[in-house]
A and B are shown apart, each in its own frame.
Chain A
């Protein structure tokens, strides 16, 4: 049974959204507990790897036209838009976290863990949001 382009897009959106949420939850918990490892450190990484495998399988289950339609120029445009916006969010995190560190005494280890996962979360969740808004 070959997947349609809409099925591939749904799988991609859901899996990237779950990965983004896992990164976001990790960062929030790290900041809230001032702990660089508030839950198992490999959860966001595993979510990303499983999402990659799931998306690859979805594309493999679609025929060539479905694959092309699922990754057309509007998807590229949304992807680039999410990258551009996530870049600025990542840049803005430096002064924001400087303030948080001064105000709360957040440790450097926790800050690095939170900023790293938030950087991933911002891109993944923005892409998910832009795709959902266009659907």
Chain B
């Protein structure tokens, strides 16, 4: 089964942002960021693109398919 790997936590820390900072900028709750980072919740395309925009990187840098 194909899973979704994400590097959101590492990339967020590189930018010096807390979960709360990223959440408020992206317009979601801190819980949502936390569950994405812990691979509990898979975000929609819109939210994935929003996170990439906030972090000023490509969405492919954050998310990638894993076999």
Contact = CB atoms under 8 A, between A and B. Distances in A.
Interface stretch (B7-15, B24-32, B58-66): B24-32
Given A77-B41, A134-B35, A70 B29 contact: yes
Nearest to A70: B29
Interface centre among B24, B27, B31, B41 (most CB of A within 10 A): B31
A72 B32 contact: yes
Interface string B20-43: 000110011111100100001101
A130 to B, nearest CB: 11
Nearest to B25: A65
A53 interface: no
Interface residues of B, number: 14
A18 to B, nearest CB: 21
Contacts of A68: 27
Contacts, number: 36
Interface string A48-80: 000000000000000001001110111101000
B17 interface: no
B30 A73 contact: no
A135 B31 CA distance: 6
B35 A69 contact: no
B54 interface: no
B41 A72 contact: no
A46 interface: no
Contact of A73 (B23, B24, B32): B32
Interface centre among A9, A65, A77 (most CB of B within 10 A): A77
8 contacts: A9-B31, A65-B27, A69-B29, A72-B27, A73-B43, A73-B47, A74-B31, A75-B29
A72 B24 contact: no
A4 B44 CA distance: 24
